[in-house]
Structure 1
Amino acid sequence: MPEPGLAAVHALCAAVTPPDPRTARRSQLRQRAQARPPDALGALDAVAHRVAGIRRDAAPGPLPAAVSVLAGDHGVARHGTSVYRHGYTARVLELIRAGHAPVCTLAARVPARVECADVGLCEAVGDQRYKIGTGTGDITRDAAMTPAQAVEAVLSGARYATDRLADAGLLAIGELGVGNTTPAAALTARLLDTAAADVVGAGSGVPADVVARKRRLVDVALARHADVPAGDPLALLAALGGFEIAGNVGVILAAAARRQVVVIDGTMTAVAALLAVRLCPASAGYLVAAHRSTEPAHRALLAGLGLDPLLDLGMRLGMASGATLALSLINGVLAVAASTPSARSAGLVPSR
């Protein structure tokens, strides 16, 4: 018998069913009869059909939107892998809670409310109901967390999603975590069986010598945890992950079970998405990629997920900023799909 936490993760996965392809097809047929050229909005029309299948509604119209940011600290950051130090993550989370961070300004334009939680900061910030630990271990020397903590973090993310995000049909997810591109690169390398040199980037904007140091650290971490099965997402999370990454795995699974559209942001949410899909393949149908960041790991992860991003703006801000920008695009095309009259009713039937 699996331990209770593991059984709860399995139950969460079992609650996810794939989106309905018949409703997505009805959305396509409906759009082709509208007073505009078929698929004239390109990738946005494709997203509208995908959302229709997720929501089981051929013309759902604009959806209530929310933005989520989970925060955690990383032990490997003590090697100087970021331009920022421990404590910075907590300060930025406080800015988000006060409504003064960039993501808050972007969300107000959607409009979407912003929710956030401390799931693994070294300092205590705000609501502590979802917190699992005070920063992860240094993955070059030890596991990031215990197996029990990894499971608990996934379930905590799911509980947070149920408590704070359940009313949003459209959900942008993001994270905060000084140094988290290093564990994300390590996870990407294991999940996609690639070399550290191919997935380590500048992260917060570090110079070339620090990028080289990050590659060495990822190589050390991969060697230390080489015995962890690549086919066991929870074991990989425990060995190489972060509390905010694990928490977002739970957010994705819980949102998919509620038939919410999940808009992923950058590298950290993409690696969480790939872990969620490895745990629960049906969750893949609920994901929309907002943008392609400057991190090489992000490009590899999007390819691994089979997702084409809506935007490619060279962003690396994090905190769900790219995903928040995409909310306006998605709700815009949903409004067009729901409100455009038929070509026949508008007297615009094409000539043959």
Structure 2
Amino acid sequence: MTFSSIPFTHDVALDRALDAAINNKTKPLGSLGMLESLAKQIGLIQQTTQASINDPALIVFAGDHGVVAENISAFPQSVTWQMMENFLAGGAAINVFARQNKCALHIVDAGVNHDFGPRDGLLDRKVAYGTRNFAQEPAMTAEQCAQAMQSGADLVAGLTGNVVGFGEMGIGNTTAAAAIMHAITKIPVAECVGAGTGLAPSGVQHKQKVVEAAIAFHAPVISVGEPLGILASFGGFEVAMIAGAMLAAAERRMVILIDGFIITSALLVAARLQPAILDYCVFAHCSDEHGHRQMLAYLKGRPVLQMGLRLGEGTGAVLALPLLQASVNFLREMATFDSADVSKKSA
């Protein structure tokens, strides 16, 4: 599949206009901190000094991973489809937070090892019943990877709003994300692998050994450094769909809310394909999953929230939405020194 080039956000005249609009509000310079940089970033994305947050959406992609055969998770693979049932019933954390923040929520079967049948609220984009075990062979074929990415892009094309976030569900996906992280960044495997769903230290050590062995097995692909090859070797169908969805969102000049460890691993692939995508990304939080802080440092991403989250599902992305709304609201609605007849700071 191919994606057209992502438009650059930099516009010298608009950059200056946004600085002037932000700095002329009735406040000391820089006193709204990160809200000011968010307002400017969103204005540059939307190409306006009157930025807005309209019809935000979050898409949760779910898929199973063949690498669970290596005993790298504290939970059985069946938890993936069971949590999907929880999402569809409205009982998961992401359902609660999406309702609270008036964020549309879409649930996608990217490749769960389960037959759901036709279900209200479920978007069936199943590529296969889970990936293959990447400890022994590529997780997916190049054709499956392309299909998944295209499905993610098509889902974003159907959204009406200008902000989108992504969530994930898939037992084994922190192992896939850790392998992708190492393959893209070359950060040592020990710094990429964490506890995931709650492994004991001995489990983390075993997981690290599995990833190291898989890295050695796929060394020829990694040495080439081609991101789609890395994604097909280690990724999940949900990770591939998210990468495709991110690229499509940036093409549509949407603000992209980046959640935690798994979502950022998809961004590592997308950014290697199209570096300009990073201008469209708001990093919602820094996850407590081992390795996420290093991912953010590699991408030069500044997280909005620091709350010790590591649930996934897109929860951090949705929790950051009110701060995005606040950033565009002050830009649009806050009085200026002139309009409020307030004296500016003397030179």
TM range (shorter): over 0.9
Residue 211 of structure 1 is matched in structure 2 by 204
Does the 8 A contact of 1:63 with 1:331 survive in 2?
no
Secondary structure of the structure 1 residue equivalent to 2:307:
coil
Residue 3 of structure 1 is matched in structure 2 by none
Residue 217 of structure 2 is matched in structure 1 by 224
Secondary structure of the structure 2 residue equivalent to 1:77:
helix
Q: TM-score, normalised by structure 1?
A: 0.93
Residue 48 of structure 2 is matched in structure 1 by 57
| Cα distance change of structure 1 residues 207 and 342 upon mapping to structure 2, 3 Å threshold | same
Q: Give the Cα separation in 1 of the matches to 2:310 and 2:72.
A: 15
| Cα distance change of structure 1 residues 21 and 297 upon mapping to structure 2, 3 Å threshold | farther
Q: Give the Cα separation in 1 of the matches to 2:157 and 2:54.
A: 17
Q: Give the Cα separation in 1 of the matches to 2:43 and 2:344.
A: 26
Q: Which residue of the other structure, out of 303, 318, 322, is the alignment partner of 1:324?
A: 318
Tell me by how many angstroms 1:351 deviates. Answer: 4.1
Q: Which residue of the other structure, out of 50, 63, 78, is the alignment partner of 1:72?
A: 63
Q: CA RMSD in A?
A: 1.4
Tell me by how many angstroms 1:38 deviates. Answer: 2.2
Q: Is the aligned partner of 1:17 residue 2:37?
A: no
Residue correspondence of structure 1 range 251-262 to structure 2 within 5 A: 251-262=245-256
Structure 2: which amino acid aligns with 1:145? M
Q: Which residue of the other structure, out of 277, 288, 313, is the alignment partner of 2:282?
A: 288
Q: Is the aligned partner of 1:147 residue 2:127?
A: no
Deviations for 1:205-243, whole angstroms, at most 9, x for unmatched residues?
A: 111010001100000110110000452111001111111
Residue 176 of structure 1 is matched in structure 2 by 169
Q: Which residue of the other structure, out of 15, 18, 21, is the alignment partner of 1:27?
A: 18
Gaps of 5+ in 2: none
Q: Give the Cα separation in 1 of the matches to 2:317 and 2:227.
A: 24
Does the 8 A contact of 2:107 with 2:123 survive in 1?
no
Tell me by how many angstroms 1:61 deviates. Answer: 3.0
Structure 1: which amino acid aligns with 2:257? V
Give the aligned length.
340
Tell me by how many angstroms 1:137 deviates. Answer: 0.8
Deviations for 1:44-93, whole angstroms, at most 9, x for unmatched residues?
A: 21111001000111121333211111000011112222221112111212
Structure 1: which amino acid aligns with 2:63? G
Residue 36 of structure 1 is matched in structure 2 by 27
Q: Give the Cα separation in 1 of the matches to 2:69 and 2:32.
A: 46
Q: TM-score, normalised by structure 2?
A: 0.94
Q: Give the Cα separation in 2 of the matches to 1:318 and 1:217.
A: 22
Structure 2: which amino acid aligns with 1:169? N
Residue 124 of structure 1 is matched in structure 2 by 115
Secondary structure of the structure 1 residue equivalent to 2:220:
coil
Residue 268 of structure 1 is matched in structure 2 by 262
- Worse-matched range after superposition: 23-32 or 324-333: 23-32
Deviations for 1:108-139, whole angstroms, at most 9, x for unmatched residues?
A: 22121111200011113444642211101111
Tell me by how many angstroms 1:247 deviates. Answer: 0.4
Residue 103 of structure 2 is matched in structure 1 by 112
Q: Is the aligned partner of 1:195 residue 2:185?
A: no
Gaps of 5+ in 1: 1-5
Structure 2: which amino acid aligns with 1:21? D
Residue 300 of structure 1 is matched in structure 2 by 294
Q: Give the Cα separation in 1 of the matches to 2:157 and 2:11.
A: 26
